[in-house]
Structure 1
Amino acid sequence: MSLDASYTRLAPLYDAVVDLASRGARRASLDALPRSPSDILLCGIGTGLDLPCLPPDHRYTGLDFNSAMLARSLPRAEGLDYAAVRGDAMRLPFRDASFDCVVLHLIVAVVPDGAACLREAARVLKSGGAALLLDKFLPAGRPAPLRRLLSPIAGRIATRLDLVLEDALKDLPFGVVSDEPAAFGGWFRRVRLLRV
C-alpha cells in the first residue's frame, strides 16, 4: 500500500488518534510563531489540526500531498487568510525565500526522505526565518534496535521510527535555537531552527 493510499484511509480516523495526543505539544510549538504579520507555510498540514491554534494576523499556506487530508483542513481555517495547496514536502512548489516561517509538525519523519523535506524548508525560508518542528526523532547514537527494525513497515503505513534529526540536518543552513522533549518521554521532540 502506498503512503498516499494509507493516509486516504486514515483521514477519517486521523483526528481521533492524533489530536488529543499531540495538542499540547503543537500549541507549545506554535507559541514560537513570529509576532508581526508574516507568511507562514504549514508543511504537511494534514487535516488542519494546527489551524484552530493559529493567530489570525498571518498569511498561511497549508501544503499536503493527500487530497483527502487537505480537504479536511478547509473548514478549520475559518477566520484565517489560508490557502490549501496539494504538493510534495520534498519538492515544494514555491519560490526560494517565500516564507518567514515553516511549520513542520508530524511530517519530517513521515516523508520517505526527511533530509529532503528539511532542505526544501531551508530553500523556501527567508534568511533569519524559523522552522518549527514537532516529530518523533531517534536520539543520535542510540541503537534502538526495535524501532529500527519496525521502521520500514511503519514507514509504509504512516511514519518512520528511525529518523535521527541531527543526521537529517547535516550540511543544511540551520542553527538549532531550541530542542526540547515534547511527549512520550522525549520520543517526540519540539525543535526550533533558524535559517542562517
Structure 2
Amino acid sequence: MTLRYSYTLFAPIYDALVAPFTASARRRSLALLSEEAHAEVLLVGIGSGLDVPLLPSGPRYTGLDLTPAMLARARRKAATLRLEMTLDVGDARCLPYADAAFDVVLLHLILAVTPHPEQVLAEAARVLRRGGRILILDKFLRPGQNAPLRRLISPLLGLLATRTNVVFEAVLAQVPGLEVVSDLPALAGGWFRQIVLRKTGF
C-alpha cells in the first residue's frame, strides 16, 4: 500500500484522529513564525491543513502534499480563513521549487512518515536560504534508545501511515550544512520533539 493511497483513505478521519493530540505542540512550533513577518514559508507535507488555522499573519505561505485528497481539505481550510496560500501536489523527496526559495520550512509529522527522511530533510535544506530555519515536529527515538515495541511495529505501521523507529540524529548526520538551534520535548514524554534547525552552509 502506497502512502498516497493510505492517506487518501485516512483523509476523512485524519483530523479527528490527529488534531486533538497535536494541537498544542503545533501551536508552540508555529508561534516561532511570528518572528518572520515577511518571510516565504513552505509547509512540506501540509496534509489536511491542521496547521492552517494556527498560522500567524504576515508570512507568505506555500503548502505541498503528496495526496490530493488531503490537500483538498487544506485548501478548504485556507479558503474558509481567507488565507492566501499556494497549495501544490508534490513529493517531499523532490520538491518542485528553486534552490534558496524560502526563509522557513516546516516539517510537521513528515520525517517519520516518509521512507526516506534524509531525502526530505536534504530537500528542505536545498530550498532554504542560508540562515533560514527548519521547524520540525515529529516522533523520534533517541540514539541508542531500545524502545523494542516501537521498533517492532514500525515496519507494519510504515506501510500504512508512519514509522516509529526513526532516529533524528541519524537523519541529520546525512544532511550537511544544518545546525540544531533547539530540541525540546513536545508530546508523549518526549517521544515527540520540537526541533529547530538553521542552515549554515550551501
Report Cα offsets for 1:99-149 as digits up to 9, x if no partner: 000010000100111111100000000000000000000111112222111
Runs of 4+ in 1 over 4 A off after TM superposition: none
Alignment of 1:161-180 (within 5 A): 161-172=164-175, 173-180=177-184
- In 2, Cα distance between equivalents of 1:92 and 1:35: 22
Identity of counterpart residues, as a percentage? 52
| d(CA) in 1 for partners of 2:116, 2:69 | 22
Q: Determine whether 1:194 maps to 2:198.
A: yes
TM-score by length of 1: 0.97
The within-5 A match list for 1:4-23 is: 4-23=4-23
Q: C-alpha offsets along residues 40-63 of structure 1, whole Å, 9 cap, x if unaligned?
A: 000000000101111221111110
Unaligned runs of 5+ in 2: none
- For 1:44-193, list aligned pairs within 5 A: 44-77=45-78, 78-172=81-175, 173-193=177-197
Amino acid at match of 1:79: R
How many residues get paired?
196
Once superposed, what is the RMSD of the aligned Cα atoms? 0.9
Distance 2:119 2:186 in 1: 23
Would the aligned equivalents of 2:37 and 2:57 in 1 still touch at CA under 8 Å? Answer: no
Secondary structure of the residue that 1:178 maps to in structure 2? strand
- Contact between 1:56 and 1:81, CA under 8 Å: does it hold in 2? no
**How many Å apart are 1:80 and its aligned residue?**
2.0
In the alignment, is the contact (CA less than 8 A) between 2:11 and 2:70 conserved in 1? yes
Where does structure 1 lack aligned partners over 5 or more consecutive residues? none
Distance in 2 (CA, whole Å) between partners of 1:82 and 1:36 is 15
